[in-house]
Structure 1
C-alpha cells in the first residue's frame, strides 16, 4: 500500500522537525523542506535512523522556489496528501519602533509564504478532491498580546485566510484545513526572536520601556504548563489528523484552551461558524 505523502515547511528545527519525525514514524512519506539545506543535519540524522524522509529546498518567500519543490514532489509521488505550513518567524517591537522593512518581512514569511505554499498544492488536491492543509499558527492568532502586534497581525491574517477557504473549498472539493494554535513552545523560535531584537539595536530606551520591562518580567512568572516541547505539539497535531472531519482550529494544550476561552467558548473547533457562513452565502 502506497504511503500518504506529507510536505512540511521550516523543518531545520523546532516544530517542523518534530512534525517531520512524528509523521514519518506514523507511516507517512515526508518531504521536509527548508530554505537552507546546510541546516538540514537534523533531518539527515532522521534519515540515518531509517525514517522515510526526504530533505528538499523550499524558500517560502519565493513563489518560483515553492512551485519548483511542489512540482518535483508531484513528479516523484503523483500526489500530496498533506501540506503543513510551519515556516514562520516571531517579532517583538512596538509599532512605532518597527521598520517598514522588518514588518514587511514578517508578513512575507508568515502570511504570504503560507499563501504561496497553499496556492501551489491546491490544484493537485482539487483534482483529486481530497487533501489536507495544516498551518501552525499561535494563540496570538486569536488573542492580541503586548509588543507582539505585528506578529499577532500576521497570525490573525492566516486565521482569516483559512477560515475563508474552509467555507467553500472544503465542501466543494473535499480539501480540509486546520489551524494549530499552540501557546509557548520550548524551541529555538523564542531565542531567534530575541536574537533579531539584539541584532536590530536591542530594546529601545523610550516611553515604552517600563511597559516592556513589565511584559518581560511577567513572562518569568508564567506557569510552567504554558510551555510545550516541539515534540508535544507535534504529537497533538499528528493525533488530530485522524479526526474526521478535521477541526478548523485547535489549541494544543489545556493552558492555550483556557487562555483563548472568550474567543472560542461557543465554537471551539470553528466548524459551527463555517457551516453558518456556507448556509448563508452559498446555500450549502
Structure 2
C-alpha cells in the first residue's frame, strides 16, 4: 500500500536517494530541506529517475518550521505514515578543542532535530494507531570512535531515544521506531569531515594533530576498495527495506562491515527486539 512519507535532509546524498527510491516504489514523498534554494540536486535526481515528489522547507533546528511542514502535509494528505529523520551533520573535534557552541550545535542538529520532528508527527500517528519513525543513526551510535565523541554522543542519544519510545509507544499505539546504522558513505564522509574541519579553524597545532592526521588519512585511504564505505543508493535500499517491513527492526546495520564492526554490542540481539521485550516485561507487564 502506498504510504505518505516525510523525509528530512534531502538536499544531498542519502536523503536524495531515499526520496528517489521511495517515489519509485509508488509512495507519496515529501522531500524537505532547510533551504529550498538548494534543491537543485534533488530536482536533477528526480528528473533522471523519472519520478515526482513534493519539496517542502523544513529546518530541523526550528520547531515552528517543523510544525508548519507537518501541518501542510496533514492538510494535503490527511496523514503521515512514515517519518524518515535523515537530516544530520558530522563533527570531528576533540572534547578539548570543541567549544560549547560546537557541542550544542551537534546535539541540536543530530538529536534535538530528531525529537522535534518525531514530536510533530506523533499525535497524528497516535490518532491513526499506526505509523513508523525511522531515524538515520550510525555505527557511531553503537561504538565510540576517535575524534567523534561529540557526534557519537548525539547518535547514542538517538539510539536510546528510539529504544525508549519502542518500549511503550509501539505496543500501545502501533507506532514503530527504527534506527538505521550505516558505516561510511562514499559520497559524503571525507569531504564533509574535511570541510567542517577547515570551516572551524583547520587542524589545530597541538598534541592531537598527528593522531588526527592518522585518522583522516586512514579514512581517505579506506575509501578506495574498502567495504567500509557504501554508496548512498545502497544505504537507501536498506532504508526502503525498513519502510516496507511488516515487523520492522528497532535497529539495523546497512552492511556486512557494519555488522562485523558492531558485533560485540549487537550479536546477542541484532535487531533490538529481545531487549524491547525484556524492557516491556520488566516495567509494563
Q: Which stretches in structure 1 are left out of the alignment for 5+ residues? A: none
Q: Contact 1:14 / 1:189 at 8 angstroms: preserved in 2?
A: no
Q: Secondary structure at the match of 1:23?
A: helix
**For 2:24 and 2:139, how far apart are their aligned partners in 1?**
27
2:229 corresponds, among 227, 230, 245, to 227
User: For residue 43 of structure 1, what is the aligned residue in structure 2?
Assistant: 42
**For 1:224 and 1:263, how far apart are their aligned partners in 2?**
22
**For 2:213 and 2:53, how far apart are their aligned partners in 1?**
43
1:55 matched to 2:55:
yes
Q: Contact 2:181 / 2:252 at 8 angstroms: preserved in 1?
A: yes
Question: Mapping of 1:255-274 within 5 angstroms?
Answer: 255-274=257-276
1:199 CA drift (Å): 1.6
**For 1:189 and 1:76, how far apart are their aligned partners in 2?**
36
Question: Mapping of 1:149-188 within 5 angstroms?
Answer: 149-188=149-188
1:277 CA drift (Å): 0.3
Question: Mapping of 1:13-92 within 5 angstroms?
Answer: 13-48=12-47, 50-92=50-92
Q: Secondary structure at the match of 2:134?
A: strand
1:125 matched to 2:125:
yes
Q: Which stretches in structure 2 are left out of the alignment for 5+ residues? A: none
Q: Secondary structure at the match of 1:132?
A: strand
1:189 CA drift (Å): 4.9
Q: Contact 1:131 / 1:176 at 8 angstroms: preserved in 2?
A: yes
1:280 corresponds, among 266, 279, 282, to 282
1:242 CA drift (Å): 2.5
Q: Contact 2:190 / 2:220 at 8 angstroms: preserved in 1?
A: no
Note the aligned Cα RMSD (angstroms): 1.4
Which piece of structure 1 moves more, 252-261 or 201-210?
201-210
Question: Mapping of 1:191-270 within 5 angstroms?
Answer: 191-222=191-222, 224-270=226-272
1:246 CA drift (Å): 0.4
1:45 CA drift (Å): 3.0
**For 2:41 and 2:242, how far apart are their aligned partners in 1?**
25
1:244 CA drift (Å): 2.4
**For 2:147 and 2:45, how far apart are their aligned partners in 1?**
37
TM-score by length of 2: 0.95
1:122 CA drift (Å): 0.3
TM-score by length of 1: 0.96
User: For residue 8 of structure 2, what is the aligned residue in structure 1?
Assistant: 9
**For 1:203 and 1:86, how far apart are their aligned partners in 2?**
28
Which piece of structure 1 moves more, 246-255 or 39-48?
39-48
Q: Contact 1:186 / 1:230 at 8 angstroms: preserved in 2?
A: yes
Q: Contact 1:34 / 1:59 at 8 angstroms: preserved in 2?
A: yes
Q: Contact 2:159 / 2:179 at 8 angstroms: preserved in 1?
A: yes
**For 1:241 and 1:6, how far apart are their aligned partners in 2?**
9
**For 1:77 and 1:121, how far apart are their aligned partners in 2?**
13
